[in-house]
Amino acid sequence: MMTKVILDVDTGIDDALAIIYGIESKKVDLVGITTVNGNVPLHMVNKNTRKVLQLIGRTDIQVYPGADRPLLREPEHEYRVHGTDGIGNALDDVHLEEAEDNMFAPDFIIEQAKKYKGDLTVILVGPVTNLALALRKEPKIAEWIKEVIIMGGLVSEAGKGNKLPNSEFNIFADAESAAIVFHSGLEVTLVSLDVTMKTFMNLEHIEKLKGTKYYDFVLNSTEVFRGFSQKRYKKNGCALHDPLTVGYFIDPSYIKTEKYFVDVETVSPLGYGQTICDFRNIWEKEPNVNICVDVDAERFVNDFIETLKQAK
């Protein structure tokens, strides 16, 4: 029996790719998708997520709207990377029916954690606000949820953050929520920029999709993202941050992990959102996060492309 999965997204371009990849892999038993303010405001995230499900042909999968802002700090969006609508305006022609009136995402997480005790994995590829709120409302979910896999943070590559020199966007977007999650006792795996920046999809990879179901969407939606990468990293392509996070659930052998004590900076203006990994156990605290130390990037990117290519 496959583990049940909730995918928590801030759709965004790589979130959209992760949703497509997870569903087309046929290896993710998705009980629902929860949405959170992140790359773009929540109302856009909801619309984008529902448009992507319509593109896939899986509008049976329900979307549960969550937090429209971080716990404490002001929202800060990333239109530079994801475009003015969050998915590179690639689905402007997709018409949406009236949304179902679904429950609040944190309540859905609690409901499903209680229903599938020990058999629910939550994959979070945006700020972790919904999970933090769920933990505050029902702390027992820390025992009920089998594991959480989070795209976020930076642990080894000092100075190579994407929001501050040492801070990654998802954690930077709501560091207080990340601190709540890291200290909750949940089994946490942090798929950080240290590995996701190595899974780079370039135009050559995208051209392999030519003539298949998702070619147009992948080429068009990633144009803004690729243009930003060209400027910042001098490489035309996009790091598969969110797809790799789903990939780790599908096949953990893509990534080598080790467990250490990790904490989050929530005060310093220079390092807000920094994920600090205590490799030398200086604080002598119990390890609480599986961090990623290596990735089989080429195999993952090729498998990702093949999964999208075979879609009907």
Residue 249 amino acid letter? F
Tokens of 102: 């679904």
Number of residues that bind ligand RIB (CB under 6 A): 15
Which bin fits 9, alpha (ψ -120 to 50), beta or left (φ > 0)? beta
Residue list 3-22, contact with ligand RIB (CB under 6 A)? 10, 12, 14-15
Largest CA-CA distance found in the chain, in angstroms, rounded: 55
Task: State which residue, 156 or 212, has the beta carbon closest to ligand RIB.
Answer: 156
Q: How many residues does the chain have?
A: 312
Which neighbouring-strand residues pair with 30? 5
Nearer to ligand RIB, 28 or 110 (CB): 28
Instruction: Select the residue interacting with Ca ion from 15, 24, 107, 303 (CB under 5 A).
Output: 15
Which of 5, 33, 45, 125 is the binder for Ca ion (CB under 5 A)? 125
Paired sense of beta strands 188-191 and 29-35, if any:
unpaired
| Min dist. Cβ of residue 80 to ligand RIB (A) | 12
237: its two tokens:
């392509």
Indicate which of Ca ion, ligand RIB, none lies near residue 169 (CB less than 5 to 8 Å, by partner kind): ligand RIB
What does 65 bind: Ca ion, ligand RIB, none (CB cut-off 5 to 8 Å by kind)?
none
Binding span for ligand RIB by CB under 6 A among 53-61, 88-96, 163-171, 214-222: 163-171
Burial level of 232, CB count in 10 A (0-12/13-18/19+)? exposed
How far apart are alpha carbons 206 and 201 in whole angstroms? 7
275: phi then psi, degrees, rounded to nearest 5: -100, 115
Q: Between 241 and 280, how does the x/- string for binding to ligand RIB read (CB under 6 A)?
A: xx--------------------------------------
Using CB under 6 A as the binding rule, whether residue 126 contacts ligand RIB is answered as: yes
The answer to the question of residue 176 lying near ligand RIB (CB under 6 A) is no
* Consecutive H or E run containing 41: none
Q: Which residues pair with 259 in a beta bridge?
A: 290
Q: Which CB, 50 or 144, lies closer to ligand RIB? A: 50
Binding-site string for Ca ion from residue 220 to residue 249, where x marks contact by CB under 5 A and - marks none: ----------------------x-------
Among 148, 151, 190, 209, binds ligand RIB (CB under 6 A): 151
Establish if 77 lies at the interface with ligand RIB (CB under 6 A).
no
E-strand ranges in 60-203 read 63-65, 120-124, 147-151, 188-191, 200-202
Is residue 194 a contact point for ligand RIB (CB under 6 A)?
no
> Which one of Ca ion, ligand RIB, none interacts with residue 162, CB within 5 to 8 A by kind?
ligand RIB
Shortest distance (Å) from residue 172 CB to Ca ion: 12
**Does the footprint of ligand RIB cover residue 39 (CB under 6 A)?**
yes
Strands 237-239 and 200-202: antiparallel
Q: At what angle do helices 129-137 and 175-182 cross, to 10 degrees?
A: 50
Pick between residue 24 and residue 242 the one whose CB is nearest to Ca ion: 242
Both tokens of residue 14?
């790589």
Contact 169, 151 (CB under 8 A): no
Using the 8-state DSSP alphabet, how is residue 100 labeled?
A: P
**Footprint on this chain of ligand RIB (rule: CB under 6 A):** 10, 12, 14-15, 38-39, 125-126, 151, 162, 168-170, 241-242
